[in-house]
Structure 1
Amino acid sequence: MAHTLTVDVVVFNYTPKALADIWVQDHYVGGFVQEYGPGGTGGGIYCCIEVKPGPTHVRWEYDRSPSDTRPDELFKRDVIGVIPKPHGAYKYLGVHIYPDDHVEFTLSRDIPDEKKEGVH
């Protein structure tokens, strides 16, 4: 059986749109995360899920007005990122969602900081 981690999930939204209904490895981790703003990111913390390191599906929908009649598929995303293999005990999983719809993960002992795309 693959090693699992019990973590609090911290979602960082670096996109210019709010996110709704975010899922990591089929665990619901948030219902609404504000869009990126000057001087910071939209974000939120969700407590206590079990995740496995390795390739991981992340799903979300971009928020939209109720009067927007475009097809739902235009707003849904299902992408794969890689949760790093832990080297020690970690409490937080940072889920970093970037404007080009890709995801990067960080593991940390304290609430994670923002992360520039591609920087470890």
Structure 2
Amino acid sequence: LYLDEHDLLNQADNFEVISIAAKLILVAAVFQISDGIQVVVLGALRGLQDVKIPTFITFIAYWVIGFPISYFLGKESVYGSVGIWVGLLAGLSASAIMLYLRFHYLTQKLITQQIVK
């Protein structure tokens, strides 16, 4: 796929590329927010020496949540490539939420331990 505004033979292809890219850019914008949260929280969990549970969480988020949604929306519904990206976004967002909950749980546990001492 390429974009050449002066190629009249492929003008229809150019419009299709622009249309698909415009739809995917919107999903990619939201994708960046979820990805940013997920990366920061995952780094914070590594700093707390917590790596086993986050690995399991990301596995569940990507393979149990994200991949099936991507498959269904991309292949079984009318969404096509946008559906695939929405599924990836769902998995990444689920990962960000679950990792944040794990971080919140661990930090509250550490704070409580410090108060008890």
Judge same fold: TM > 0.5, yes or no: no
How does the TM-score come out when normalised to structure 2?
Answer: 0.24
TM score, norm. by length of structure 1? 0.23
The structure with the greater share of residues assigned to strand is 1
| Pair member with larger Rg | 2
The structure in which a higher percent of residues are helix is 2
